[in-house]
A and B are shown apart, each in its own frame.
Chain A
C-alpha cells in the first residue's frame, strides 16, 4: 500500500471528483457547468422521465461499452462502478439505477481526445438493474447489470 499517497489524499478529501477530473483535463470547465443544466434530470424519480429529459428516444443494446461492477454490493452506500466506452466520438457516459429514488446517478462529458473511462462510486438502496448509457456520435448505447444489495449475514 502506498501510505504516502493515502495521507496526501486524506488531506484533500472533499475536493470533489468533478473538480479533480477537470484538473486533469478530462472535462472542459464549460462542461462542468453544462452538467449543472442537467440538474433537473437528477431529480426525476422515474427512469423513463430521466431518459426523456436527457433526450434519449432509443438506445442500442451493447456496442463497445463496458460496465464493471460487483454482483453483490459490499456496501450499498458506496458501490464501485467502472464505465468504459470504446466507441469513437464518445460524448458522454451516464449511470442510471432503476430502483433508486432518483435513477440518474452520474453523467460524465468527454471532449475530443479524452479517454472515456471512469471509476466512481454510486449509492444504492436496494437490488436493482444498473444501466450504463453512452452517447457517441449523437447516438445512444446501453448495457445493464444487476447489482444485488442484500441484508447480509448467514454466509458460510
Chain B
C-alpha cells in the first residue's frame, strides 16, 4: 500500500479553488461540489463507511472541537489536532468548505455560508452516486445509529432501523443501540434486519458461558473478491452506560479473539479483512499495532472527522485506521485494489455531506417525513431563543452543557451540577429558536433521570479524577471515550498528563476552596446505576421548565477548567 495523499489533495484543491468566502462564489459552489463528490473510481473493492450519526435524520450544524487534547503517545498526533494545526497537518486551505467541515474555525460565519451538513436524504443521494461509480460497494455502519434524537427515543430506534434499511446499510456494529435494552436489539436483529442488515461484534459474549451474542464477522463478495467485515462493538458499553440494560452481555477489547476471527476469516477465503469498529480512534491505533492481518479498521465512537487514514505498522504488515466523524456529517470511502488474493493499493476520502450541495433523495425524504409527522407538534415546540452559539463537543464544557448545568442548578436547587461528557449533540446558531427537538438532540437517552445528591468535597474530587482518567489515561485501552464531565458552579484545574488521582486541583465554589468533609448539593443526570432509576424527572423536563422561564439563553461564561501543563499541545488553540 502506498500513501496517496497528493491525489486526494488535488481533489480538495479543485473544490477549494473558489474559496467560497464571498456570496458571489456561490456559482462556483456547484462545480466545487461536483469536484468534491466526483471521486474517480479506484480498484475493485469499495467500502462506504458511516458512523455515529446519532439518529440525525435531518441536516444539522455540528461544531468540531476546539479542545481535543492528546496525552503521552497521543500528544500532537491525529486525531488530537484542532483548528489551524489540523488544517496544516492535512493540507486543507482555510476558508474552504472542507475547513468548515473538519474544524471549529470561524464556525458561525462558515455555517451560515455553507449551510447544514448531513441529513439522511442528502446522504442517500451521495451513497447512490458513489454506488453508481463503484458497483458492488458495501455500505457499513459503525453504530450509534439508533440513539440521539427525539424520534429515535420515542420509536425505540424504529425510525433509524427503517432509514438504515432504505439507505442500504449492509453490516453494522453497535454501542448506544444496546441502551435500548438487549431484548430490543435482538428483536431488531431477528425481525427487522433479517435478510437485510447483519450486526457484527466479535467482542460481545454472554456474561456466564461467554457464548457469542452476535456474529463475529460476515463474508461478502465484492466483484468476485471475498471481503470479511469483523465487528468490534464499543468495549466499555456496560461501564459507560447502564449495565442493567444489557445485564447478560459482556464486552471488552479481546485482542486474542479478534486475532482468531481475522485468521478464521482469512482461512475461509477472505482476501480483504476490515474491522468495523466502535472502539474510538486511540484504541483502534493501539489495536492496529498489535493485531495482524487486518487491512483497515474503520472506526467511530470518538467522533473524529479524519480526512486521511493513519497507517499503522504491526508484525503482520500495515493497517489503515480511519475515523469518520459523527452526526451524518461525513461518509468515508475506502477503495482497495485487490490483486492475486491481496490488497495492493488503496485510496481514501472522507466526504463532508453538505446538504446544499446534494439534492435530497425523494424516497428517503418521504420516509423521514412519514416518521416525523406524528410527532411534528412536540418536536417543533419552542422553548426559548438563543443569543449565542450553542455547541457541545470538546474535552470540557461547551455552551450547550453550560446551559444544561445552569438549568439543573436553578431548577433543582443545587450549588454544583454535573452533565455527562457525551460527544453527540448538535449545534445551534446565534438567534435560532430552541425547540423541544433541539433539547432532545442533547438529552435523548433511555436513562434520562435527573439526580440530586449530597456529596462531600472528597467525593466530588474523586468523580472528577475518575472521569479524567477515562479521558486522559496514557494507555488508550484504559480510556472510555467520551469527554470530561461538564461541571456547573465548581471551578477546578486539570493537568491531563499527570498521574491518576493527581490531575484535579484548585477546586473552588463561589471563590472558596471546596472543603473535603463538607457536603454539597450536586445535581446531575443520566445515572448508570440501577438503583438510580426514576431518581428524578427526566432532564429534558427540568431544562424545558428553565428555558420557558428564561425565554432567552445567554451564556455569560463557559466554565472551562484551568488546563495545566498543556502548553504547545496541538489539541487546543495556542
Give me the interface of A with B, judged by CB distance under 8 Å: 1-2, 5-6, 9, 68, 70-75, 78, 80, 127, 146, 148, 150-156
Docked complex Cα distance between A148 and B420 (Å)? 20
Q: What CA separation (Å) do A36 and B422 show in the bound complex?
A: 49
By a CB distance below 8 angstroms, the chain B residues around A72 are: 236, 239, 478, 480
Q: With A5-B209, A154-B420, A156-B175 in contact, do A146 and B478 touch (Cβ < 8 Å)?
A: yes
Q: What is the chain A residue whose CB lies nearest that of B419?
A: A154
A74's partner among B211, B243, B470, B478 (CB-CB below 8 A) is: B243
Give the top 10 A-B pairs by smallest Cβ distance, nearest first: A155-B240, A155-B482, A154-B420, A153-B528, A74-B238, A71-B477, A155-B480, A152-B528, A151-B466, A1-B211
Number of interface residues of B (CB under 8 A): 47
A–B pairs, 23, beta carbons within 8 Å:
A9-B208, A70-B252, A70-B253, A71-B475, A72-B239, A72-B480, A74-B243, A80-B250, A148-B473, A150-B469, A150-B470, A150-B480, A152-B529, A154-B240, A154-B422, A154-B480, A155-B236, A155-B239, A155-B480, A155-B481, A156-B241, A156-B480, A156-B482
Residue contact B423 to A156, C-beta cutoff 8 Å = yes
Is B301 an interface residue, CB under 8 A from the partner? yes
Give the CA-CA distance A133 to B425 in the complex, in Å: 47
The listed residue (A74, A146, A150, A156) touching B250 by CB distance below 8 A is: A74
Q: Residues of B contacting A71 with CB < 8 Å?
A: 252-253, 475, 477-478
- B contacts, CB < 8 Å to A: 144, 175-176, 206-209, 211, 234, 236-241, 243, 250-253, 256, 301, 420-424, 462-463, 466-467, 469-470, 473, 475, 477-478, 480-483, 485, 500, 526-529
Q: A154 touching B238 by the CB < 8 A rule?
A: no
* Closest-CB distance, A117 to chain B (whole angstroms): 14
Q: Please give the distance in Å from A143's CB to the nearest CB on chain B.
A: 15
Q: Which residue of A lies closest to B250 (CB)?
A: A74
Instruction: Find out whether the CB atom of B470 lies under 8 angstroms from the CB atom of A154.
Output: yes
6 new A-B contacts at CB < 8 Å, known A154-B467, A155-B234 = A71-B475, A78-B207, A151-B467, A153-B420, A155-B239, A156-B482
Q: Give Cα A134–Cα B176 distance, bound, in whole angstroms.
A: 40
A36 to B237, CA, bound (A): 39
Which residues from B are CB-within-8-Å of A2? 209, 211
Contact A75 B238 (CB under 8 A): yes
Q: A148 contacts B478, CB within 8 Å?
A: yes
Q: Knowing A72-B480, A74-B250 are in contact, say whether A155-B470 is a contact too (CB < 8 A).
A: yes
Q: How far is the CA of A153 from the CA of B421 in the complex (A)?
A: 9
Cα A18 to Cα B466 with chains together (Å): 36
A5 to B421, CA, bound (A): 41
Shortest C-beta distance, B451 to chain A (Å), equals 11
Complex Cα spacing A68 to B239, Å: 19
CB distance from A85 to the nearest CB of B (A): 17
Are the C-beta atoms of B478 and A156 separated by less than 8 Å?
A: no
Within the complex, the shortest CB–CB distance from B464 to chain A, in Å, comes to 10
The distance in angstroms between the C-alpha atoms of A78 and B211, with both chains bound, is: 17
In the complex, A74→B467 CA distance in Å?
15
CB distance from B466 to the nearest CB of A (A): 5
Task: Give the Cβ gap from A134 to chain B, nearest Cβ, in Å.
Answer: 19
List B contacts of A151 (CB < 8 A). Answer: 462-463, 466-467
Give Cα A146–Cα B519 distance, bound, in whole angstroms. 32
Q: Which residues of A contact B234 (CB under 8 A)?
A: 155-156
Which residue on chain A has the smallest CB distance to residue B208? A6
Residues A153 and B240 in contact in the complex (CB < 8 Å), given A6-B208, A6-B209: yes
Q: How far apart are B154's CB and chain A's nearest CB, in angstroms? A: 21
The answer to whether A152 and B206 touch across the interface, beta carbons within 8 angstroms, is no
Known pairs A2-B209, A71-B253, A72-B239; A156 contacts B466 (CB<8 A):
no
Flag if A156 contacts B209 (CB, 8 Å): no
Q: Give, as a whole number of angstroms, the nearest-CB distance from A150 to chain B.
A: 6
Cα–Cα, bound, A1→B207 (Å): 12
Nearest CB in chain B to that of A80: its residue: B250
Q: State whether B175 touches A153 (Cβ < 8 A).
A: no
Residues of A within 8 A of B206 (CB): 1
Which residue of B has the minimal Cβ distance to A1? B211
With A and B bound together, what is the CA distance between A155 and B420 in angstroms?
A: 8
